[in-house]
Every structure is written in C-alpha cells, then in structure tokens.
Chains A and B, each alone.
Chain A
Amino acid sequence: MKSTISNLTRRRLLASGLAAPFVSAMPGVLTPARANETVKLQFMYPVGVSGDINTIISNMIAEFNATHDGIEVEAIYAGSYDNTEQKVITALGVGEPPALWLPINSSLQTFLGLDALEDITEQAKADDIYDDFIGGFLDTAVSEDRLYGLSFQPSTPVLYYNKDAYAEAGIEKAPETWDELFQAAKALTVRDGDALKRWGLIIGGGWHDWMFEGYCRQNGLVPWEADKVLWDRPESVEALEFWKAMVDAGCMAPASTWQGSANDFMAGSTAMLYHSTGSLTNLRTSSPFEVGVAFMPKRKQFGASQGGGPIMIAKNQSDAKKEASWTFARWMTNTENQAAWSRATGYLAVRKSSWEQPEMVEYLKEVPQAEVAMKQSEFSGAFLQVPAYSRARDTLKSAIDRTLAGEVAPEAALKDATAEVNREIARVMRRRG
C-alpha cells in the first residue's frame, strides 16, 4: 500500500523527464487495455570511462523509449561499479530491485547468492545470442551452464606503450613474452644519477589484481574456481616473483593508482602501462605522443581477464517486466548499438556481426589499436567470479602491495591471502546455506 503511494510520486517526477513525449503519444498506438499498462523499468548503470558516457547511455535509452511502445526505461546513473552494486543490493534488501542493472562481471556469484538474477538461457538460445556473441564475452555471465546476463561493456587490460620512447631506446616492436617485457622495461627506464626520470613499466594500481590474474592465465592457471581461489599454486607464485624481480631491478613502479598511472603515462613518466582497453580513447587523444597498443606479453600462452559487465535482469519482478527487460537488454546489445557504443567509448563490441559493420571496419582502419584488444579477447575469460569477490580482491591487492614493498616473500604472501580468502568464502557460503 505504501509503496504504491511512493511509486505515484516517483512516476510523476519521471514523467516530466525523458518519457513525456512518449507517454503522451501512447493511447493512439496501443489497445486501451495495454495503454494503461506501460511497463516501467528502472536501469541502474555505472559510468566507467568518462562523463560523456552518461550522455551516450541516456541518449540510447531515450531512443529505445521512443521506438518501443509499452515500455518505458528510466536511466539511473549509480556512480562507480562499487556504488552501483551497493545501490542495487540496498534496493534488493527492501524487495524492490531495479528491473535491470549493469554491475562488474565479478559480482555474478554475489548476486546469484542473493537469488537476484533471472535465468535467461532459454531466451538467449531461442535468439542468436549464443551464435553471435564472442565466446569469451558470453562466458562472463555464465554460471553452471546457465546464462544470467548479456555482456554489454567488456574490457581487458592491454599493454600501452609510448612510441616516441621506443624509438629513442631503439626498440622496434612491442614485447611478446615476459622476458622481452623485462628487457624492454630495463632499456626504457631513465635515471639521472639516483633520480628516476622515467619508469620502464607501470601496472595500473587499484586494478592490479586484475592484471595479476592475467599473468596467472598467461602462466597457464585460472586462479579461482566457483568456491575457492588458487593463488597459492606455483604458476601464480611465479607470476608474483616475476613482478618482484622487475621492481627489484628498478624498472617497474612498486605501486601506483588507477588514475595516477594513466596520468603518468600521458606525462611521459612511464614508457609502458598496463591499463584497461576502456582507457584507449582517453590515452590516445590526451597523450602528446603516439600511443601503441599490444597484447599483454605471454609466458606459456596469451591470457587476460575480462573487466566490464553484463546487463542483468532481476528475478523478483512480474513476468511482464521480465519480458520487457529482456527486450531492452537485447536491444542494448544488438549489432548496430554495440558497434556504435564500441566506437564511442573504446569498450569492445560483444557481437561478431558488430565488428563486420562498415562503420566499424572504417573505424579500425583509423584506429588500428582498437583491434588489438578485440583479438586479445580470444584468450580471455571471466574475472574472479567467487562469492565475496570484493573482499578477495582487497586481500590479493594488499598481498601484492606488501610483496612489492619488500615486506613479505611472494609465496608466503599468496599463501596467507589464499587461506584468508578461502575461509571467508566458506563462511559466506555457509551463511547462505
């Protein structure tokens, strides 16, 4: 009873916004019975790349509303990925979840644990999702062979490099293996006596656990399973030892921040940078030199973990809403929209057919760097999809930081972190019953 009252005021506020022209045009279009029953959906999304994305998403949603009678989507900006997750979980807590939301893919098990997600496997199979989505991207929303979301804005880390610095140091091509990376980083580091002028390599902090998982994959290990993390395996320890060796050699920064590392790269304070593909447009247009993009170097194989997220649909809502939600999620990820979205943001289009669009082919000719990330996605998989992933990420980051700062040995750090996180995961799963 109370919620109906609150809904009325909320809707009234809404009506003044993007939906106004659409609502007024409705009665003539629809049968009277359905005209009263416009399905209203809330869609909560984060803004990961830059302020303009907010405008792009709002425009996409306005276009959807204008072209779909009987459905009205309210676009709700919800801060960063973490903020968005908090907002959605709060709404779930009071039993009024938004119809759809866009979290980071690592949160899949968290939301499944809350029994919040609609299984969309059947709809997807009846549609062309399984045929046309690039496999690695589809997998980020799969748990036990069931699909719980449509990948919308995937990204992976890539290696960015300063082409001017490369020319200066006489390096002709980007490193392909860890050893070559080490050599290049040494050659690119510039010191004036004791004072450091330029790092050879910075691994974007704040998400360095994400890059680290890439290193594990390159060394032949996916460092987690549905109910535990495997950071104490030799492959993983070896990866951290490699980082430590680069730091000890003085060619890799022991710590950085996410935004600071991008700024350092643009300012020429580092010659190479591991950062998200989502940063491509910004790094390319804001650097006063030419920016090169390459696969993250391999050990046994190429490998990367997917960042970015899928659009998820709430389970706790009416069938009409679920159906409308599916229509919306499907529309956001259709061929044309994904191609346009990818060009505008630097995120990777999820559909094979998007990459074959004429505008996309044209774009790749202009910005060949964009293709690198797409090709790397062939070697990529989901990122740390365990319960309590947020705690797990913090623990791993702290273990890496302490190792690189020289406080603890790589193996001991990873062993402790693994034990701690696996205890936490077990606790969460027990509580869930």
Chain B
Amino acid sequence: MSDATHPAPVPAVSRPAPRPRWRKLARQNALHLLMAPLALLWLSPLIWILVTSLKTNTEVFDQAAGFLPASPKFSNYPSTLSVAPFGTYLINSVIVTATILACQLVTITLAAYAFARLTFPGKGLLFTLFLLQVMFPIYAIFLTNFVTLREMGLVNTIPAMIVPFVASGYGTFMLRQSFRQVPSELSDAARLDGCGHMAILWHVYLPLVKPTLIAFGIISVVTHWNDYMWPLLVTNSEGIRTLPIGLGLLAKADSGADWPRLMAGTTIVVSPLLILFVIFQRRFIDSFMHTGVK
C-alpha cells in the first residue's frame, strides 16, 4: 500500500546541515518524495468519504460550497446508525466472511491435494465437474440452493449465508495448479522420511503455496464481504443480516442516494478493516516478502 505508516527515518532537522549531509538526506528520502503524492492519491477517496460524511445534503452538490463543510455535521453519524443496526451487521459480516474463508481453506487444500497428487478412478470426471461449478453464475443456482437450504431448515439463519460457499471450485483449481508446480522430489523425500499425506501437505506443500493461499483469501473475503443478493434472499430478520444490506438502505433509493449518510455509513463500515490492516500491516507484508523470497 502506501508508506503512510512506515516509520520514516528521523529527519535531521535539529542538526546543523552542511551540504553533503543535505544531499545524503535527499538521496535517502527520494523514495519518500515519490511515495508521498502516491499515498495522498490513495488516501484521497477516504478523505473525501470522511469530508462528505460531515456535510449537509445541500452542501454536497452546491458548487459554491467549499471542499470542507461549513460546520461539520456530526449528527450524520447517529442518524445513520438509527437507519439500521450497523453494529450487529458488522459482527454478522465478520462471522460470515471469516467462517467461509476458514472452511474454504480446509476444503480447497484437501481437494486440491487429491487432484494434484493422488490417482483414483474418476479423477478426470470429478475435476471437470469442479470446473463446471466455476462456470455457473451464482444467480443461476439461487433457487436450487434456496430449496436445499430450506430442506435443511437453515433459511433465515447465519449458516444459510455460509453453507453454499464452504467449497470453492475456483479455489480448488487455483491451488491444484500451485501444488503441481511443487517439485515431486520434495514430497518423495518427505515420504522417505516417513511422512503421511497430511504431514506432507502440512510441512511441504502449504508453506510453499502461501502466496496462492493469501491471494485466494483476499478474493474470497472481498467477494463475500460485499455480497448483497444472496444474504438478502435467505435472511429476513434484522438480527442476522450483513453490512451491504444496511448500506443498500441508504444507497438504493429512488430519489438519489443520501450521500452524507451513505458516506457516514461507509466510514463506519470500513474503519474496523482499516484499523485491523494498520495493526497487522507489517505481518501481511512480511508474509508476502517471506514467501516471495523463497
């Protein structure tokens, strides 16, 4: 991302700065000169969201009004929260997205290993079926999924938003390709050392495909975090609904979106993710670097 939170070298303002030092400083910080505008570019939508969330409805479209609100209208926030229980929605979104990801990681790892390294009858056919699943748009199977869930008695529960997604044909395919790139000498060596399938998977394969796992994780989280139609279809009670439905209340209006409150809602929604990212930023990037270097 940006270098916004990167601990910048302490600028040597307090010291007397002779010419060579100044030059050295410039050379050391050249990257920062480039990165600062980029960071600003990255941050601008966030700043715009924040500023708009404090405006009045009239100010948003008044070309005579300045970039900043004349007087910040903090009451947009309580008034947004009164539209829908965003706190509950947030918790539900986290539960749904995290559970889906956790289940998917288990299922796709096992399935991909089987498809990549085992031989069993019907393997080719089964794999084709998996690929077919990727090709069906989710909308085409809404009704059949709905019927299945109803028979399981799951309609209008949190699991209803999770169960249809615990397996992923796309993830399986992605991971199978990565597994196949791992040299079989490595797993053969592990087998000679007495490892079973599980141990080989855990000690040899998974560490080597971490970037794929992370890439898949990001795709999965973003997809299910933003999913609107399926949760809307299978849930009825406010207590188990997710964030996009709450934002939909503000955005999908016949009369034009209610911008200040939509932006206030957006701020509420993205803040936890942003804070989490800032806290764990180093770890995220480390894991990328680590696996990349290997």
**A binding-site residues for B, Cβ under 8 Å:** 2-3, 5-6, 9-10, 13-14, 16-17, 42, 47-52, 54-55, 74, 76-80, 83, 86-87, 90, 93-94, 96, 258-259, 262-263, 266-268, 275-276, 278-279, 281-283, 285-288, 346
Contact = CB atoms under 8 A, between A and B. Distances in A.
Given A51-B261, A54-B84, A90-B142, 14 more contacts: A6-B154, A10-B236, A14-B237, A51-B83, A51-B249, A51-B253, A52-B83, A79-B248, A86-B229, A90-B143, A90-B233, A94-B150, A262-B256, A268-B61
Given A90-B233, A94-B150, A259 B256 contact: yes
29 contacts: A2-B153, A10-B236, A17-B239, A50-B258, A51-B80, A51-B253, A51-B258, A54-B83, A54-B249, A74-B237, A79-B245, A79-B252, A80-B252, A83-B229, A86-B233, A93-B147, A96-B150, A262-B255, A266-B256, A267-B62, A268-B63, A276-B254, A279-B254, A279-B256, A285-B57, A285-B58, A286-B58, A287-B61, A346-B255
A48 B63 contact: no
Contact of A286 (B61, B154, B240): B61
Contacts of A77: 238, 245, 249
B83 A55 contact: yes
Given A3-B150, A9-B157, A267-B63, A283 B255 contact: yes
Interface in B197-243: 228-229, 232-233, 236-240
B257 interface: yes
A52 to B, nearest CB: 7
Report, as a range, how many residues of chain B touch the other chain: 35 or more
A286 B57 contact: yes
A6 B61 contact: no
Contacts, number: 133
Given A2-B151, A51-B84, A287-B58, A258 B237 contact: no
B114 to A, nearest CB: 33
A11 to B, nearest CB: 10
A9 B61 contact: no
B237 A13 contact: yes
A263 B262 CA distance: 14
Contacts of B80: 51
A10 B58 CA distance: 43
A268 to B, nearest CB: 7
A74 B236 contact: yes
